[in-house]
Amino acid sequence: MDVVDVWTARLACTLQAALRATNEHFADRLGISPRTVATWHADPEVVPRTEMQQLLDALYESAPEATRKRFVLMAAPTETSHAQTPDPQAQALRVAIAIVVRDHDVLLVCRRDNDTSGIAWQFPAGVIKPGARPETASIRETLDETGVHCAVRRKLGERLHPVTGVHCLYFLCEYLAGDAKNSDAVENVDVAWVPKSEVTRFIPTETIYPPILQALEADA
C-alpha cells in the first residue's frame, strides 16, 4: 500500500499504531486536536474531511520506511478487528470541558465535524494530560481555542460521553478577560458568546450534560 486512496478513521488509527504514537503525539504530528484522534477511535468508519486527508497523506509519505511497512502489515490483515477492539488510549482519554459565563452569555466554539451538517457547536474542551489538573486543562484549552481568559468557579460533575465514550469533566468558569476569537482554524469554524437562554438552539438539549443547563438557569 504505497498510496492510500481514502483515509478512514480506522486507517488513521492504524497509522498512529504504526508510528507507536500516543493520541497526543499523533495529534501533534498532524497539527490537530487530540479530541479528533479520540473521535476516530470511537467511530472507525468516519471518513475525515479533505483537509485532514491531506494531512494524513503528508504524514504517511514522510514516515520512515520501517513505519510504512509496519502500517501495510497492520492495515491489510487486521483492519476489521480494529472496529471490534476498543483502543485502550481512547478509553483512558479524559477531557476537561469549560462552561464559561460572562454576564448573560456563555462561550461556545463551532467545530468542524464529519456529520452531514459539517459543523457542530460545543463548549471549549481540552485533553487532560497525565499528571495535570483538570481545572488547569479547562482554562488552558479555553485560552488556546478562543483567546479568552477564565477562572474555574466549581466542578459541575463528570460522565462518560454517550457518543464518544470519552471521560468528560465539566467546570463552570467565570470570564476574566480577552476578546473571543477563533484561535484554532484547523479544528474550529467560529467562536461566539451566546445568550444562556438560547444555548439549546446551538447544542441539542439531549446531548448537554444536565447539570450544565441547571447551572446556566441558576446563573441567569
* DSSP state at residue 207: G
- For residue 198, the model assigns a pLDDT of 92
**What's the pLDDT tens digit per position in 31-52?**
888 878 887 887 787 888 888 8
HSE (CB half, 13 Å, CA atoms) of 106? 27
Phi then psi dihedrals of residue 194, to 5 deg: -120, 135
**What's the pLDDT tens digit per position in 126-171?**
888 878 899 999 999 899 889 999 999 999 999 987 776 788 999 9
Q: Which residue has the higher pLDDT, 2 or 8?
A: 8
Phi then psi dihedrals of residue 187, to 5 deg: -95, -30
Of all residues in the chain, the percent with pLDDT exceeding 90 is: 35
**What's the pLDDT tens digit per position in 70-123?**
888 888 754 444 444 444 444 457 889 999 999 999 999 988 765 444 458 899
**What's the pLDDT tens digit per position in 53-72?**
889 999 999 988 888 888 88
Is the C-alpha dihedral spanning 61, 64, 65, 67 positive or negative? negative
Question: Which residue carries 441558576 as its cell?
Answer: 218
SS (H, E, C) 92-141: HCEEEEEEEEECCEEEEEEEECCCCCCEEEECCEEECCCCCCHHHHHHHH
**What's the pLDDT tens digit per position in 178-209?**
999 988 777 788 899 999 999 999 988 888 99
Q: Which residue has the higher pLDDT, 215 or 43?
A: 215
Q: Which three cell numbers stand for residue 178?
A: 480577552
| Domain range summary for the chain, segments of one domain joined by + | 9-86, 93-218
End-to-end CA distance of the chain: 56
* Buried b / exposed e along 96-130 (16+ C-beta atoms within 10 A): bbbbbbbeebbbbbbbbbbeeeeebbbbbbbbbee
CATH for the 93-218 domain, from 3.40.50.1000, 3.90.79.10, 3.40.50.720, 3.30.1330.100: 3.90.79.10
- For residue 77, the model assigns a pLDDT of 53
